[in-house]
A and B are shown apart, each in its own frame.
Chain A
Amino acid sequence: MRNKLADVIYKLGLKNKKICVLVADISPAGSMEKFRKKFPNRFINTGVAEQSMVGIAAGMALRGLKPFCYTIATFALYRPFEMIRVDLCYQNLPVTIVGMGPGTTYSTLGGTHLAQEDISVARSVPNMDIIAPCDPDELSDVVEFCSKKRNRPTYLRIGKAGEETFINKQSEKWKFGKIRLIKPGKDVCILTFGPIIRKAFEISKKLEKKNLSIEINSCHTLKPFDLNGLKKKFKKFKSIILIEDHSEIGGLNEIVKSKAYEQSYLGKILNFSLKDKFIHCYGDQDDLLSKHGLTTDIIYKEILNLTK
């Protein structure tokens, strides 16, 4: 996704002179090399200084520029959090904070690099929009949207590298603030966001063999959340499955369940989220997810039980 990000920002930057990129000394920012070479004035590497990255971006936005701040998710959101809250959100400035490699993505780097509660943190701040695209195609639409004339800060949560594309001919068009149907289905509805959508597809394939038809949706906009869209899902489905590479606190799990209560939804909702626990293990991403019960097998079995 990070290569896609760099490509799209470069292309948009050619047309829109207000777009600027700020990074804080991470090697993946190397993919921004093209932008840096072409627009040396509109590219700043603050060094290992994330607070400075966000503070400077806020100042640039106050002067009418359109900054994108880009680093690893934990350092993009947590380290400069008060700059984000006060400089960006309180003043309502159009800066996009790009948090790369969230959730369990950095599976060998340990707890300091795992942004498992970033959406929860970002969601609680007024004015902040949150978008988490599920694949490089969706990311492309989102970046274009963020670069448009908007007067709000955005937290853009993106994967790292090598993500598959899931958007297909059956998928709806991307629209900010709308739950996006990626793959239609009749029996069970999966709501998810971010690259972990791959699990939804794996599960759906297995369930099709049991004659269950699964609908898969990308809830890319976590804030503001699409309440009308959600109501429609409540009407259409008796079972809703939530899959997120994020804490059970403050993310999709809590958004959907609190709305279900308000809407007196009588169906079943199963959530597969990260537990409210720091992760002290290593391996590949699936190894980490499995420690929190997020395996294709477990989800598959629980859906089968639910639909019996």
Chain B
Amino acid sequence: MKRFIKESKNRCLNYRKRILDISQKVRAIHAAGAFSVIELVDCIYYGLMRKKTKKHKYFRDTFLMSKGHGCMAQYVVLENLGIMAKKYLENYCTKNGKLGSHPDYGLPGIEASTGSLGHGMGLAVGMAHADKINKINRKLFLVISDGELQEGSTWENMMMAANLNLNNLICFVDHNGSQSFGITKKTHPKFYPMNKKILSFGWECVEIDGHNTKEILNSIKKRKTKKPLMIVANTIKGKGVSFMENKPIWHYRSPNSKEYDIAIKELKHI
């Protein structure tokens, strides 16, 4: 575990740097939303998803990034795993490239097109149920944003996941409490309590620190029920760069070159 934690920390530092580097070439990046899920995505791929056997292309389990705008976090992990070749990110958002600022089904390691919020839960329920019908032993790891819990479609599908007893579905909520247009607590106070709502929809729900590797790895081990599992991961939008943290204007902004220098320096200390 200790070794994993150290390695993960290192990887996450490099991911953040890589994202900042790309942001200097292409400004269309949701860096802050990616920074809040970096530890989650890294731990899911490196620690939670089961390795492939001959039958599988990459992994035995499936990962879906429902908050498509956070895909940069997924791209850099896929790159590090060697699933996505370097040229993909080198040509990010350019006319010669295949990668845009939302993931597209069919690209290496990308199992569904997301970007319109509130679609991932439905896709995940369908895939998880299909795996049951086909008697395939596979877990589905889903990452949604807290903003997606404002879309009715997410709740409709959560209810369905519980109805279908989908214990193979594990969902992380990137609970950074921040959206495009403000801080959720202020704009939508009745968004809370969130965990109670999730429980009442027939899910098991646990809460963790979404930047803490150990807590992420342990989160699925302590499962008590056979219900679908929701892990509320408390995170900080823009984590690692002080001036980006929890500031809605950084939802879509890229740092200029001065801000970039400060950001890179700050990253070393997290």
- The smallest C-beta distance from A273 to any residue of chain B, in angstroms, reads 20
Could you mark each residue 100-115 of chain A with 1 if its beta carbon is under 8 Å from any beta carbon of chain B, else 0?
Answer: 0000000011111100
Q: Which of B143-185 contact A (CB under 8 A)?
A: 147-148, 150-152, 179-182, 184
With the chains together, A105 CA to B154 CA distance in Å? 28
What residues on B are CB-neighbors of A26 within 8 Å? 180-181
Any chain B CB within 8 A of the CB of A259?
Answer: no
Any chain B CB within 8 A of the CB of A271?
Answer: no
- A27-B181, A51-B152 known; A110 and B104 CB under 8 Å? yes
What residues on B are CB-neighbors of A52 within 8 Å? 152
What residues on B are CB-neighbors of A49 within 8 Å? 150-152
* A27 x B252 contact (CB < 8 A): yes
* A25 x B114 contact (CB < 8 A): no
Any chain B CB within 8 A of the CB of A231?
Answer: no
Any chain A CB within 8 A of the CB of B118?
Answer: yes
Q: Say which one of B13-21, B94-102, B193-201, B262-270 lies at the interface with A.
A: B94-102
* B97 x A282 contact (CB < 8 A): yes
What residues on B are CB-neighbors of A29 within 8 Å? 180-181
Any chain B CB within 8 A of the CB of A267?
Answer: no
* B97 x A25 contact (CB < 8 A): no
The interface centre, meaning the residue of B28, B104, B181 with most chain A CB atoms within 10 A of its CB, is B181
Any chain A CB within 8 A of the CB of B116?
Answer: yes
Q: Which of B210-235 contact A (CB under 8 A)?
A: none
* A25 x B113 contact (CB < 8 A): no
- Chain A, residue nearest B28 (CB): A108
Any chain A CB within 8 A of the CB of B136?
Answer: no
B interface, over-half SS: loop
Any chain A CB within 8 A of the CB of B10?
Answer: no
What residues on B are CB-neighbors of A113 within 8 Å? 102, 115-116
* A287 x B181 contact (CB < 8 A): no
* B93 x A25 contact (CB < 8 A): no
Any chain B CB within 8 A of the CB of A74?
Answer: yes
Pick the contact of B116 from A30, A75, A284 — CB < 8 Å? Answer: A75
* B152 x A281 contact (CB < 8 A): no
The interface centre, meaning the residue of A26, A283, A284, A287 with most chain B CB atoms within 10 A of its CB, is A283
With the chains together, A181 CA to B47 CA distance in Å? 63
Any chain B CB within 8 A of the CB of A169?
Answer: no
Count of A residues near B, CB < 8 Å? 28
With the chains together, A47 CA to B146 CA distance in Å? 11
- A47-B188, A282-B97 known; A25 and B147 CB under 8 Å? yes
- A108-B100, A109-B28 known; A27 and B180 CB under 8 Å? yes
- The smallest C-beta distance from B5 to any residue of chain A, in angstroms, reads 33
* A112 x B116 contact (CB < 8 A): yes
Pick the contact of B102 from A23, A27, A112 — CB < 8 Å? Answer: A112
Any chain B CB within 8 A of the CB of A48?
Answer: yes
What residues on A are CB-neighbors of B188 within 8 Å? 47
What residues on A are CB-neighbors of B114 within 8 Å? 112
* B104 x A109 contact (CB < 8 A): no
- A52-B152, A109-B100 known; A25 and B180 CB under 8 Å? yes
What residues on B are CB-neighbors of A23 within 8 Å? 181
* A45 x B181 contact (CB < 8 A): yes
Any chain B CB within 8 A of the CB of A235?
Answer: no
- A29-B181, A113-B115, A281-B95 known; A47 and B101 CB under 8 Å? no
With the chains together, A25 CA to B149 CA distance in Å? 13
- Chain A, residue nearest B95 (CB): A283
Any chain B CB within 8 A of the CB of A186?
Answer: no
* A108 x B26 contact (CB < 8 A): yes
- Chain B, residue nearest A112 (CB): B115
- The smallest C-beta distance from A64 to any residue of chain B, in angstroms, reads 27
Q: Which of A108-165 contact B (CB under 8 A)?
A: 108-113
Any chain B CB within 8 A of the CB of A280?
Answer: yes
The interface centre, meaning the residue of A26, A49, A284 with most chain B CB atoms within 10 A of its CB, is A49
* A111 x B180 contact (CB < 8 A): no
Any chain A CB within 8 A of the CB of B248?
Answer: yes
Any chain A CB within 8 A of the CB of B24?
Answer: no
- A113-B115, A282-B97 known; A45 and B148 CB under 8 Å? no
* B95 x A48 contact (CB < 8 A): no
- A283-B94, A287-B95 known; A109 and B147 CB under 8 Å? no
Given contacts A108-B100, A111-B102, A282-B93, 10 further A-B contacts (CB under 8 A): A26-B180, A27-B252, A29-B181, A46-B150, A48-B150, A51-B152, A109-B28, A111-B113, A281-B97, A283-B94
9 A-B Cβ contacts within 8 A?
Answer: A45-B187, A48-B117, A49-B152, A75-B116, A108-B93, A109-B100, A109-B115, A282-B93, A282-B95
